[in-house]
Structure 1
């Protein structure tokens, strides 16, 4: 028996059964960087069609989190796949280095910003960003992500800052930039303006108040002659009592009906539809409607401010709604976009007497020095004191908060720099590009960003901070007007390019060096200038990355093929990039935009430190390896929110083992296979092998189509099912006898090995973008004669098998064979359970078939024993006996009998001719032949 074992062609490979990923991945990483695997991957596609996936820059602050890991793995999967399929896809990682979080951290470390110069703070910010950039770079590399990690793009380098500032100069030349006083989001805690992308909405408790404004007699008599001059009011509702001091008007809708309501001797004006609800809320016992007019008739009435001696005219506005309140809208032009537009139309002052910390200026009567939120109860108390508060309560509603400090923000009118959305039809052109020029995946992304662009205000591009690209402009010290000529700005930008720290030039250069000789203010004729000290919005920074990287790097080309980020970037990077490119190029910076969801815990909850459900990628890598994390990313439909938990990861570890073991089995059975000498021509392969190879090719094509469509969960599920079911449970089990037992160089064995060879290369190519470490390990363990050219798996080209492997008739026959195999397996299983059969090889199968089924099965009768994994199989058209089992295949019945003959000691198959050769009395004729050849 021991001699027989030596004669078997048992699997042999150095590829280990256990992945030991946590120990082996770092070794594979070292190999990639020692041999420049990324360079080999790119070099293998020299001259091929370029594919540009432009990296949205993560912020250089802190360690990477699970969302970062998912994002980078998704990008890596795409880049590797495109290279493996014959496109040159470079990956240039980037980092967003400017902005508030780093500046605040540095200020905290320095003990305040007032102790140091702007250049000292900028230097510290640069050092801080570099520190975390290095940390994140190593963490990203540990994920198995390949790219130009030694030459990333950074928004703080001179070349990048130059590109950003040059885009600002381009907007200057187009006339798109304006400097105005407008209400914008403002964070009093961070003391800066905020972009819409920097505002998050969360629940907030606000006071909800109803206030009556006294009406002046002269205009009132014209509309409501019956109303008393000294006891008539218009009623407003607001959830921001602190803005009442800055009220300058009351807005009504021109098309709504408004009632004059009498309560005792007092008269009130409210929207007709809201009178009943308000009367109940205010506790009006008896009331009556004395008159009704269109809102347009109210225009021209003049109210008085409830506690300041100034008028508050009644104006009309289309944005007034009847959803809540009174239908009469308190209007403070300095604290709301719609209020601001109303103020412009009616010549109202843009009043916003607040400092940078959102405190009322000392000159504001009653509330000077108070933070706006502290002022809310004080305003309510003042309204109560003067008798003009009709009602007050607390409500919880969605309210904007600062993305950084998480505190509520306000609308504050300040002088800022804007890119005008209507100039040169920027809004219209951008909407057209969204609809016609960009592919949005998922498709709802188009509607989302379309709505955002359609209704957004002018783009506020200025920030009152220090760490960023400066706004290149001069301010007249005599009148405050600004000078920002495009050609002049381009000249300044040229100096950024040659300065060691880029935009620091603006802060270092003496005024005389940047002010054009003889420059006079076009507004007042003044000659006294100072440099603007605002910086650009960081979204303008990152949004101009197409200019710095996609156009600026020789390995890239404009526009990018793909931008891939989270769904929040419809209002962030996708948004700012689109506006910046449309404004100066007239075309989008990308062809396709792909978004992914957010990572939730196993119960579908948002991750939170307070809940304790945060899953760190570093912990997953330490426990399971980066390969399992990569598999998790691919296994989920990332276009929706993803869940992660220990249980989910455990299932993936099991799935990984099965995929690995399938590959190991195939590798082990190819140890003596040399494609140069042993490959069997497709036409000469056994039909079963051609059928199996055809099946794998079909799955391979499904996988490749899924990669092209960014459907990586389909890749995972197809690959997993292929390895664990189609191959391991069927084909690989079937061919074991032939591969182990037949002669080493026999046609039957070489045919199976040829199929396995083609299958393995397809599988490795299919799994390499996702299971990168394991694919590399398999590649390095391939027998040298089988290994594709190149030092790394990523330098290979995903193989394709051309031409037909089976005719339609053959395919139909083998589909029938495997359907009957299912019936046979189900028939044998009860006999094994009852111990009537020890193994399927103890069985003989008689297939009773009729008509076409008999004809088809008879043609492959000699293969059925192998396919069914039994000792004997025969096909007959005789009527099935009563004990025959009718399976799921129509026209086919199965009879299971005990196999005839004795069991061969070498192959374990029962054979009636066992022992016919005296030299091998326990071997069947097939094994006897192989043994004679073996010992020859």
Structure 2
């Protein structure tokens, strides 16, 4: 009895590579992809934007995975009768490209690029991103991802760049483009900010100094008692631009007088600390006052360094984010180097003072640490704190610190003027 199956019989020995090439040849000679798109012209549109690859390196398995998903959804919508234009793209910008070219040229940073010449360096990058276009195209066709390479866009083309500027012009004309400060992770070696996604990729375990400091109060009843605010920080280098001290308005604080210990050469002193953390000063102390954080607001103090003149600053501010989980319950504020600090100090109209240059070094005019990389300045500053009598306690602190995932340089939280789109 003859078979009624609508399918052709299959040979027992199948040459899969041969079949693959036959199918690919049929798709190409008959222009199947473009025909499938044009057949739906006039139908409901379904928009597809390809997040384009960068072809400065050979394609990997992660590119195959991404392209599978990029093919499935447009193909499904096309099969439902929708008109889906699938334009390919090539990403020609970004630090990965620049760093790869830097390595090829033996460069170690921005200064080498400027000596080489920005135009010449850009040309090297332009050549780099076109290096493996053929390999990406072949891989894409072999795996059956239907996308239009004939009309592909290049992010380095003048047409594409012009379209971006046009879009920004439209946004600006509507009053939606604004310039403001934002504290963001910044790599001083690469000279660029990092996204939150990039930040999460580069944490490394490090040992940093942990210091407890006395900030002498300079007005009011607490000054008459000779009291100091007791503050903890793991970033001594930020103390150069200390602007305020934050306390939680609802937390209970104590003003305590510690007992002298002649054997240990420890003098009696008056300190302000969160009630829940008072054990930090030891077991022998006298409570002189108990008050809410809100009662400390606007109390003035003497900053640990006077390398920079910051007018109308150096007083206690209130911030709900301050906790008593660790430290002293009093948080040093340097608005150029912390998002919470920036937000808190803005409420009080305090200035943003940034003594760190884009290369991560203190500005040359800063006393004691001028020209020094911010992380290397810690040791020098701690010596100065000890010499001036401000240092209460010093120990090493092991913790996870963000580093650039590309070059492993310690990151700095850095306030830079940036452009934002109102939404």
TM over 0.5: yes
Report if aligned partners of 1:79, 1:89 keep a CA contact under 8 Å in 2: yes
SS in 2 for 1:89: coil
Question: d(CA) in 1 for partners of 2:13 and 2:86?
Answer: 31
Match of 1:419 in 2: 420
In structure 1, what is the equivalent of residue 241 of structure 2? 246
Deviation, structure 1 residue 268: 1.1
- Cα separation, partners in 2 of 1:42 and 1:180, compared to 1, 3 Å: closer
C-alpha displacement at 1:51, in angstroms? Answer: 2.3
SS at match of 1:150: strand
Equivalent position of 2:269 in the other structure? 266
Counterpart CA distance in 2 for 1:217 and 1:392 is: 28
The answer for the alignment partner of 1:316 in structure 2 is 318
| Structure with the largest fraction of helix | 1
Contact 2:89/2:154 (<8 A) preserved: yes
- In 1, distance between residues paired with 2:14 and 2:253? 76
| Change over 3 Å in CA distance of 1:163–1:117 after alignment to 2 | same
C-alpha RMSD of matched pairs (Å) = 2.8
Residue equivalent to 1:176: 176
Q: Which SS does the other structure have where 1:186 is aligned?
A: strand
Matched, 1:152 2:152: yes
1:398-434 Cα shifts (integer Å, max 9, x gaps) = x4333433433111233x232154xxxx2xxxxxxxx
Of Structure 1 and Structure 2, the greater strand share is in 2
Contact 1:213 1:303 in 2 (8 A): no
Matches of 2:347 and 2:46, distance apart in 1:
50
Check conservation: 2:252, 2:290, Cα contact below 8 A: yes
1:193 pairs with 2:197: no
Does structure 1 conserve the Cα–Cα contact (< 8 Å) formed by 2:404 and 2:411?
Answer: yes
Question: SS in structure 2 opposite 1:88?
Answer: coil
Map of 1:521-540 to 2, 5 A cutoff?
Answer: none
For residues 459-538 of structure 1, what are the structure 2 equivalents within 5 Å? Answer: none
CA deviations 1:623-674 (Å, max 9, x no partner) are xxxxxxxxxxxxxxxxxxxxxxxxxxxxxxxxxxxxxxxxxxxxxxxxxxxx
Tell me if structure 1 keeps the 8 A contact 2:239–2:305.
no
Assess if the C-alpha contact under 8 Å between 2:215 and 2:231 holds in 1. Answer: no
Question: C-alpha separation between the residues in 1 aligned to 2:200 and 2:335?
Answer: 23
The structure 1 residue matched to 2:65, chosen from 53, 56, 70, is 70
Quote the Cα distance in structure 2 between the aligned partners of 1:159 and 1:348: 44
Aligned to 2:384: 382
- Distance (Å, rounded) in 2 between the aligned partners of 1:25 and 1:273: 71
Indicate conservation of the 8 Å contact 1:209/1:389, yes or no: no
TM-score, normalized by length of structure 2? 0.85
Structure 2 Cα separation of the partners of residues 247 and 36 of structure 1? 67
Aligned to 1:300: 298
State the distance in 2 between where 1:255 and 1:20 align.
76
Q: Unpaired segments of 5 or more residues in structure 2? A: 260-267
**Secondary structure of 2:149 counterpart:** coil
Aligned to 1:37: 32
In structure 2, do the counterparts of structure 1 residues 128 and 382 end up closer, same or farther at CA, with 3 Å as the change threshold? Answer: same
Q: How big is the shift at 1:258?
A: 0.9
- Does the 8 Å CA contact 2:217/2:229 hold for their aligned counterparts? no
Q: Is the 8 A contact 1:258 1:295 kept in 2?
A: yes
Q: Within 1, Cα distance between the matches of 2:22 and 2:397?
A: 61
Task: Return the alpha-carbon distance in structure 2 between the equivalents of residues 268 and 182 of structure 1.
Answer: 34
Unaligned stretches of 5+ residues in structure 1: 1-6, 427-936
Q: Deviations over 1:439-458 (max 9, x none)?
A: xxxxxxxxxxxxxxxxxxxx
Q: State the match for 2:122 in structure 1.
A: 122
Change (3 A) 1:406 1:143: farther
Asked whether the 8 Å contact 1:215–1:301 carries over to 2, the reply is: no
CA distance in 2, matches of 1:132, 1:382: 55
- Secondary structure, aligned partner of 1:52: coil
Displacement of 1:270 in angstroms is 1.1
Q: Match for residue 214 of structure 1?
A: 215
Give the deviation of 1:298 after TM superposition: 1.0
- Choose 1 or 2 for highest CA Rg: 1
What is the correspondence of 1:613-692 to structure 2 with a 5 Å cutoff?
Answer: none
Q: CA deviation at 1:188?
A: 0.8
Q: Counterparts of 1:157-168 in structure 2 under 5 Å?
A: 157-168=157-168
**Residue in 1 aligned with 2:343?**
341
User: Which position in structure 1 is the counterpart of 2:141?
Assistant: 141
Q: Report the equivalent of 2:286.
A: 288
User: Structure 2: how far apart are the matches of 1:30 and 1:303?
Assistant: 79
1:204 corresponding residue in structure 2: 205
Deviations 1:276-304 (A, max 9, x none): 3x24xxxx241232211111211222222
Match of 2:90 in 1: 95
Against the structure 1 CA distance between its residues 419 and 172, is the aligned structure 2 distance closer, same or farther, given a 3 Å change threshold? same
Name 1:52's counterpart in structure 2. Answer: 47
Q: Alpha carbons of 1:412 and 1:261: their partners in 2 closer, same or farther (altered >3 Å)? A: same
- CA gap of 1:30–1:323, structure 2 versus 1, over 3 A, is farther
Q: 2:56·2:130 contact (CA, 8 Å) conserved in 1?
A: no
Alpha-carbon shift at residue 182 of structure 1 (Å): 4.8
Structure 2 counterpart of 1:875: none
Measure the CA separation in 1 of the matches of 2:317 and 2:169: 40
Shift of 1:332: 0.6
Which secondary structure does the structure 1 equivalent of 2:166 belong to? helix
Query: 1:365: which partner in 2?
Result: 367
Shift of 1:26: 3.6
Question: CA 1:180/1:87 → structure 2, altered by over 3 Å: closer, same or farther?
Answer: closer
- The equivalent residue for 1:809 is none
Matched, 1:395 2:393: no
CA distance in 2, matches of 1:204, 1:37: 54
SS at match of 2:396: strand
Q: Secondary structure of the residue that 1:402 maps to in structure 2?
A: coil
Q: Give the deviation of 1:330 after TM superposition.
A: 0.7
Question: Contact 2:185/2:194 (CA < 8 Å) preserved in 1?
Answer: yes
Q: Quickly say closer, same or farther: Cα 1:348–1:8, change in 2 above 3 A.
A: closer
Give the Å deviation of 1:8: 7.7
Q: CA deviation at 1:313?
A: 1.8
Three-state SS of the structure 2 residue aligned to 1:71 is: helix
Query: CA-to-partner distance for each residue in 1:780-822, whole Å, 9 max, x for gaps?
Result: xxxxxxxxxxxxxxxxxxxxxxxxxxxxxxxxxxxxxxxxxxx
Check whether the contact 2:182–2:418 (CA below 8 A) recurs between aligned residues.
no
Specify which structure has the bigger relative contact order, considering alpha-carbon pairs within 8 angstroms and separated by 6 or more residues: 2
Give the superposition deviation at 1:396: 1.9
1:314-344 deviations in whole A, cap 9, x for unaligned? 2222222223221101101211122223333
Aligned to 1:484: none
From the superposition, tell whether residues 198 and 166 of structure 1 become closer, same or farther in structure 2 (CA, over 3 Å): farther
2:232 match? 237
- The alpha-carbon distance between structure 1 residues 83 and 175, as it changes in their structure 2 partners (threshold 3 A), is closer
Could you tell me the TM-score, scaled by structure 1's length?
A: 0.40
Distance 2:171 2:77 in 1: 35
- CA distance, structure 2, for counterparts of residue 185 and residue 177 of structure 1: 22
1:255 corresponds in structure 2 to 250
Residue 265 of structure 2 corresponds to: none
